[in-house]
Structure 1
């Protein structure tokens, strides 16, 4: 299992609508995220539109490929693209994972060996 965390920037003038759109994500989009193999997926919004996303997956490359080929994901990402600042391409394909520097469970497990 791999943990993926990423950042995006939501345009400040679109914050309210962005949040509202994520209160009721299309059921077919939710199904595609799950079918892609992404689990425990969350988005967190910080000040001035800083968005932090997190999910877990067994194979991130396969998950990205699945979503890249999904017509549902393509429609969702096309509708959502106007919310982001400085993003080249689809958000589900263009994010760069952040480097994980600490995980409690990993260190606890290693300290018990």
Structure 2
């Protein structure tokens, strides 16, 4: 899974059908302090892709995903953001950032 940047991470979550439009709007205006916290915690090239049925695909690059998650978990802004985002997701026990389960990478083309 190594790249020049460290780890490439992909994960899936499921956004509730009745909250898709609002989820998109909320992500057009992610709080600047949340964006800063992600960058400062080592999240790079972070993207979210949303399918019409609510399947959310996340992708990011980082030197160490577990460490980057731990750094984010220690920020106040992340706690506030996760609390606001939790109701948007299906089949989620706890916070969305705790529900991320990275998929194994099976191919990469540089």
One fold, TM greater than 0.5? yes
Measured after TM superposition, the shift of residue 18 of structure 1 is 0.1
Give 5+ residue unaligned stretches, structure 1: 106-113
Shift of 1:94: 2.2
The 5-angstrom pairing of residues 59-98 of structure 1 reads 59-98=64-103
State the secondary structure of the residue aligned to 2:30: coil
Distance 1:93 1:70 in 2: 14
Cα distance in 2, alignment partners of residues 39 and 84 from structure 1: 23
d(CA) in 1 for partners of 2:20, 2:91:
15
Measure how far apart 1:68 and its partner are.
Answer: 1.0
Structure richer in helix, relative to its length: 1
Q: Root-mean-square deviation (CA), in Å?
A: 0.7
Aligned residues: 105
Larger radius of gyration: 1
Gaps of 5+ in 2: 1-5
- 1:55 equivalent among 56, 60, 65: 60
